[in-house]
Amino acid sequence: MPRGALFDPLFGAAELGPALSDRAWIIALVEVECALARAQAAVGVLDPAHADAIGIAGPHLARSLDPVQLGAAAVSGGNPVIPLVTKLRAVCADAGVPAAAVHKGATSQDILDNALLLLAQRAGALIITDLRTAADAAARLAADHRGTPMAARTLGQQALPTTFGALAAGWCAALDRAAGALTAVLADLPVQFGGAAGTLAALYPHGTAVADALAAELGLAPQRVPWHTDRTPIAELATALGVGAGAVGKIATDIVALAATEIGEVAEASPGGSSAMPHKRNPIAAITARAAARRVPGLVADALGAMDHELQRAAGAWHAEWETVTDLLRLAGGAAHRLAQSLSGLQVHPAAMARNLGITQGLLLAERVTAALAEHTDRAREIVTAAATGEHPALDTDPAVTEYLAPDRVRELLDPAGYLGHAQDFVTRVLDARGDRA
């Protein structure tokens, strides 16, 4: 059974799982070896016939290698590239390729680092798609509900009126920003090729040309210098994934809160049930998006904590990255996928929003009444505070308030739709910035 078969679908990584599996790792490792051979042939340091033979034998080997056996064989050397190269040399020997032509001038870290970048690019493309799908869904919600009043809540309490469109526009902006940041990081990932100690001495004077050709073969950015122990590219990738997961987690948290029975302002199109309580309608897509996102910060910390690679090759810090980054991609991507599912079918209940706006009997607009009252007395805040915290709070009938403001004027001030500030303007700004004219 492949890793993650039980939980990947639940946490949104059903598609990402195969892209980050042990088999995907092996395929990527072999792809790098084949790309290296082609790059060297292009530069003129390897016989093109040998490069062709490696390119033919490699994919067959990648499909047939047993991850369990390769993992066991990796124990003595500390990484799977060492036994993989032995296997690759053996199958290429049948085509007349000398052993020295396979993995020429490379070290294990060159192959592993570039394989990880290939996995990051492939999984990252799926993650960006889901982030943008979620952002598009949020944009539609913002457009549809730009003027739908709801209670803004701060520190768990109703604060002032806003619109659901403004809330959704904020979601959209965060997701767009996260998708853009991840796109930029993936596009900037540089090839990693330094040879045994970062000097490419075995390929001198052609080492830099081979490195550039390898970057082109793999679709990676060229390197300025080998970065065996400069892990800023990995840290930037991890951080971008962490930011994306954080954006997802915030939105998922909002959805879960707003879907609570007592609030009831949103609901998922396909809610989950309970094994014990038939009445439950759980926002399970948002819940599992939040669950996946919550596991990401610790992994980001692991990646950042492993940046202290010593000198030209790290003992342990490098090894700590492989599964950490793989899991980061899986979880951040799963969170984005589940949020996209949640937002794409999210049902909005304006009637519930209106009901909740009325719960405080106008106290939600105490700020507005205070401002109007302040034009008549310096005791405005004191008067409104006393009226709002009394046994029967009602600003439009409190004599200390109506001494200065007529009851009809107070009731006008207590209309949530009249105190939305720039909520609708912010929706327009977000939609215009992304080209939406909803």
Let me know if residue 10 belongs to a domain: no
CATH number of domain containing 57: 1.20.200.10
Q: What is the pLDDT of residue 9?
A: 86
The domain total for the chain is 2
**Mean pLDDT over residues 186-215, rounded?**
97
Residues in CB range of 147: below 8 A, 6 or more apart: 163, 165, 420, 424
Distance between CA atoms of residues 338 and 173, nearest Å? 18
Domain check: are 382 and 261 in the same one? no
Which tens digit of pLDDT belongs to each residue from 226-256?
A: 999 999 999 999 999 999 999 999 999 999 9
Tell whether 297 and 415 lie within a shared domain: no
340 and 362 inside one domain: no
Task: Give the model confidence (pLDDT) of 109-159 as tens digits.
Answer: 999 999 999 999 999 999 999 999 999 999 999 999 999 999 999 999 988
Any domain includes 294: yes
Quick one: 335 and 362 in the same domain? Answer: no
Query: 433: how many CB neighbours lie within 10 A of its CB?
Result: 12
Q: Give the distance, in angstroms, between the CA of residue 104 and the centroid of all CA atoms in the same chain.
A: 37
Can you read off the two tokens belonging to residue 12? 């949104």
Model confidence at 275: pLDDT above 60: no
Catalytic: which of 177, 294, 295, 313?
A: 313
Q: Examine residue 1 and state whether it is found in any structural domain, yes or no.
A: no
Task: With respect to residue 11, please indicate whether it lies within any of the assigned structural domains.
Answer: no
Among 309, 334, 353, give the residue marking a domain's end: 353
Q: Is residue 438 part of a domain?
A: no
Q: Among the options 63, 274, 355, 429, which is catalytic?
A: 274
Instruction: Let me know if residue 4 belongs to a domain.
Output: no
* Statement to judge: residues 207 and 73 lie in one domain: yes
CATH number for the domain harbouring residue 375: 1.10.40
In the annotation, is 274 catalytic?
Answer: yes
Give the whole-angstrom CA distance, residue 76 versus residue 144. Answer: 60
Picking from 12-16, 52-56, 198-202, 302-306, which range would have the lowest pLDDT averaged per residue?
12-16
- Alpha-carbon span 171 to 163, nearest angstrom: 13
Q: Which helix (H) or strand (E) holds 131?
A: helix 108-144
Q: Which residues pair with 127 in a beta bridge?
A: none
Q: For all residues of the chain together, what is the average pLDDT?
A: 92
C-alpha 131/C-alpha 129 separation (Å) is: 6
pLDDT of 390 > 50? The answer is: yes
Residues 183 and 305 in one domain: yes
Nearest to residue 268, comparing CAs of 361, 218, 340? Answer: 340
User: Is 5 inside a domain boundary?
Assistant: no
Given the structure tokens 């969170």, which residue do they identify? 335
Residues 210/40, Cβ–Cβ less than 8 Å: yes
Q: CA dist 315 to 43, 229, 304, 306, 320, Å?
A: 33, 10, 16, 11, 10
Same domain flag for 291 and 383: no
Give residue 3's pLDDT band: very low, low, confident or very high (50, 70, 90): low
Torsion angle (degrees, nearest 10) of CA 201, 203, 204, 210 = -120
Q: Say which residues have a Cβ less than 8 Å from residue 179's Cβ, sequence separation at least 6.
A: 128, 131, 132, 135, 244
Q: Is residue 366, in this structure, part of any structural domain at all?
A: yes
Domain that holds residue 428: 354-433
251/329 same-domain check: yes
Domain end call among 323, 353, 383: 353
- Tell me the sheet residues that pair with 163: 149
For the stretch 297-332, pLDDT in tens is: 999 999 999 999 999 999 999 999 999 999 999 999
- Structure confidence at residue 136 (pLDDT): 97
- Tell me, yes or no, whether 156 and 244 share the same domain: yes
The string of DSSP codes covering 148-195 is -EEEEEETTEEEEEEEHHHHHHHHHHHHHHHHHHHHHHHHHPBP---T
Angle at 96 between CA 90 and CA 98, to 5 degrees: 65
Tell me: pLDDT of 105 over 70: yes
3-state SS class at 315: coil
Q: What is the predicted pLDDT for the residue at 438? A: 44
Task: Let me know whether 345 and 358 are in one domain.
Answer: no
Clarify whether residues 316 and 383 are in a common domain. Answer: no
Give the residue from 334, 353, 372 where a domain finishes: 353
d(CA 396, CA 411): 6
Nearest to 216 by CA among 33, 36, 54: 36
382-395 average pLDDT score: 84
Asked whether residue 375 falls in the same domain as residue 349, the answer is: no
